[in-house]
Structures are given as structure tokens and as C-alpha cells.
Structure 1
Amino acid sequence: MMRSFNAGDLTYLLLAARWTVVLSLIAFAGGGLVGLVIALMRVAEARPVRWFAIGFIRLFQGTPLLLQLFLVFFGGDMIGVPLGAWLSVILGLSLNAGAFLGEIWRGSIQAVPNGQIEAARALGLHYGQRMLRVVAPQALRTAIPPTVGFLVNLIKSTSLAAIIGFVELTRAGQQLNNATFRPFLIFGLVASVYFVMCWPLTIAASRLERRLALAYKR
């Protein structure tokens, strides 16, 4: 039996949005750790290490995120390690984010002028010192805008968690639509909540890009 949409349903959507935020932050943190390792492997001097990083990036960038979530969710059951929806989404999103962040940060690292790296090598700095003292401070400036932009995409990508049953914002919208059959109203509200979460980050990323562009011109 269908019922009308009420204030309690709106509260339910907003509470579900908390899980979208939590899921995004955890996946971004996990993806950041994976991405940092992949980025450093991508610019490593050892060729096999670089090849592994390239293969990892191509694997996760070349396949749909939804299929990656399916493989993690159902693959765990097949090997006798059921992960559940929560851990499956965290693991799948973190690995996917790690591939994209690793490539973003690899580009930022390689954007540092090679002459500065050679000068640091001439001063006797070993690889770790060169990366920490010379490369990282400069790469950080160029990495921030695309990293913030990727976070926006990650927030929207969490909606795929609904497919494997994790109740976040999109899944909550599906549940309410099944109960009230008000798709335009409910999914319009869901889209509005995503917009409120993502729009400030989009503006911040655009401003950072403009500031960096002005700084480089100077």
C-alpha cells in the first residue's frame, strides 16, 4: 500500500546522507594511501615496480567501478571470506580511488622541473630526500585542484553502493520511492543533497586552479 511522503522521510534521507559522507571520507583516505604508494611506484627507478603500478592503474581505470564492486562483494563469498556490503564498498572504492589518485599525483610529481631534481642529486641527496624536500612541496601545489575535483566524483560514485545493498543516500531514496511512489520528488531531493555536498568542493577546486594559474604566470 502506497503512502504519502512526510517530514520523517526527509529526515531519513538526511540521515542516510551521513553515510554517504562517511563512506566518501573513508574511501578517500584509503584511496589516498593506495594512491600515494602507486604514484611513488609509478616514478620509481626500478622498471618492474613501474610496470606493476602501470598495470594496477590500467586495470582499475579500464574497468567499470560497478563491476569492481561486484567482484569484491561476490569474490569474498567465493573464497570463503564474506565481506558484507560495507567492507566491500570501502575496499572497492579505495582501490579504484587509489588508481586515479595515483595517476593524478604521478603527473604532479613529474611536472616538477627535472633540472631541480638533478640539482638535488648533485648535492648528494638520496631518492627519499629528493622526493621529500624538493619534489613533494612543488607537486603538492599542482595536485590539490585535481584531487579536490576527484573527491567530487568519488562522492557521486558512492551511489553505486546501493546496487549491492548498502543503505546510503541513493539506496534510501530507492526505499522511499518503493514506499511512496513519488520518484520525481524523492530523487529530486536526493540529487539536491548530492549537489549541496559537491558544489562547494567544485567551486573550491576551480578557485584553486585559478590561483595556481596566476601564481605560475607571476
Structure 2
Amino acid sequence: MHASTARGSVAAPSAIRMAGAYATFAASGVQTTPYSVTRVTHDGSALPGFRAPAPVRAIPAAVADNVTDVLRGVIVRGTGTKAQALGRTAAGKTGTTDDYRSAWFVGYTRRLATSVVLFREDPKHPQLQSLAGVGGLQKVFGGDIPTEIWTQYMRDALAGLPDAPFPAPAPLGHGTDEPGAPSPSLSPSPSPSTPPVKRSGNTGKKPTPAQPTPTSRPACRHHKCH
């Protein structure tokens, strides 16, 4: 955590909080609060109150698994393609702040979630400095150095463990067009048809075709109708 985060001058969560959030997706919606202290002893005896946080259901499994399915696309064909070098089933998200002052990659497998954030500070100035020039790059994006660091770390951390697939995402149901408004199932309006002409013998007059039955216009689903 950098100094400006500790002072509360930025709104971004810490790297460990981001890793904890993405670990919730990896666990199909079960959240465990990140912790660093596992045991405290006094005179050789363990003190109470330092047990690991209990896992809780934070979001439905179907929602979490669908988020994972989307975030897999970031690595497969998006901005995090460098993470493919891990050679495992993984999902994640890159991030780059304005003026390239920080760059992120938060990614996870079924077994482990890791967050990598890259930033630069000047002790004489509290603001984050631009990352331009770091690693010989004119601009540093989340898909560059942070993703490479993440990939190398995850390769070592998961060495010897088999790859674990993510659960298949379950359907979430129908979408909505506006907040709270279900999407109506609109079918094309039938084409106007002309009913057959009724004839009653030879009257010497040309039959008058019946007028087509008007069709109703679908209700406008936008703020302005034309």
C-alpha cells in the first residue's frame, strides 16, 4: 500500500482488497476476508481472537461464475493476453489510471487470486508520478509489466498443482432494457393482408377491394418516438 492510500487521498482499494474481491469470484461467490496475522502468542501460549475469518456467501454462485466467464475473455482475447503464458485456466482484469500513474492486473485461477499494482512516487511529492519510461516503455498499461509479474509469480506459486477448471456459468435469465423493466418479447407486426373479394353474381360493376385491416404500431420503448 502506498503512502497516499494510507492518507486517504485516493479512492482505489488496496491490492490485498482487490485480490480478496476477485478470490470471491474464484470461489463461486463465497467471500473470505483477507488477513495476515494467523497466530499471536504470549509466554508461549496462543492468545484468542486471531482465528481465520469464516467464509460467507457474498453473491449467488451463478452471478460469480458468469463474471468469471467474462473475465476469462480478458486473458483469452483482451488486454491481458500476456497471462496466457501461465498455461492454466485463469481469469482477470487489467487497469490503467489517468496519466499512467499506476497500472494493475488482478487475476485468479480456481486455487489462487493475486493482485499486482505498479506505481512510482517521489519522496518530495505526495502525488503518484507517471510511469512513463519504466521498463523502457513510453506508456505502461496494466497488460504490460503488471501482467508479466503476475504470470511469473503465479507460475511459481502453483508449481506442481494440477490445473482446475472454473464451473460452467449458469443462465441468469432475461435481461432488462431499463432499470426494473423486463424486456418485452416483440414479434414483427404481420403484413397487412387483403381479404378475398366477395362476389354475388355478375352485376356489371367492378368489385371494390376491401381495405386492409390496420395493424397496431408497437409501443415505443425509447424516450423519444418518431
- TM-score per shorter chain, which class? under 0.3
More helix by share: 1
Higher RCO structure, 1 or 2 (CA under 8 Å, sep 6+): 1
> Scaled by the length of structure 1, what TM-score is found?
0.27
Give the alignment's TM-score, normalised by structure 2: 0.26
Give the number of the structure whose alpha-carbon radius of gyration is greater.
2
